[in-house]
Structure 1
Amino acid sequence: MGVKLEVFRMVLYLSFPVAMFWISNQAEYFEEYVIKRKREIYPPDDDHQRKELEDFKERMRKKHEERLLRAAQQ
């Protein structure tokens, strides 16, 4: 019974992690839990936020160019 028991334990020890890996990597589970959760945390941008971000970038770019121009003139 000793060898059979050891073979059973080895199969159990190897099959459990493999089964968990296979189950957790199914596309349905990934879509259901990970993608939906990501969309809850980071919702899609709306037009107002995007416009504010673009305006901010433009202001920062102009400020940086003015600094460079002043530094070049000195």
Structure 2
Amino acid sequence: MGVKLEVFRMTLYLAFPVAMFWISNQAEWFEDYVILRKRELWPPEKEGQHQEIEEFKERMRKQQEEKFLRIAQQNS
């Protein structure tokens, strides 16, 4: 019984990682699980959202420039 048990255990030890690797590399599983989960956590940007972010960055940059100009004029 010892040899049969060892062969069974070795088969199990080798089959489990190979099966997990095979399952996790299936394209259908990847798309169904990983990509949909990613979209659920981080939804794609809405149209116009990028423009709003760029406008916000521009307003912040102008405010910083104005602040630095006021500080420079006060120190002169």
**Normalized against structure 1, the TM-score is what?**
0.77
Aligned match of 1:38: 38
Matched residue count:
74
Identical amino acids, percent of aligned pairs: 72
Unaligned runs of 5+ in 2: none
**Amino acid in structure 1 at the alignment position of 2:71:** A
Report whether the alignment pairs 1:15 with 2:15.
yes
Secondary structure in structure 2 of the residue aligned to 1:46: coil
Unaligned runs of 5+ in 1: none
**Amino acid in structure 1 at the alignment position of 2:18:** V
Aligned match of 1:53: 53
Q: In angstroms, what is the RMSD of aligned CA positions?
A: 1.7
Secondary structure in structure 1 of the residue aligned to 2:44: coil
**Amino acid in structure 1 at the alignment position of 2:39:** R
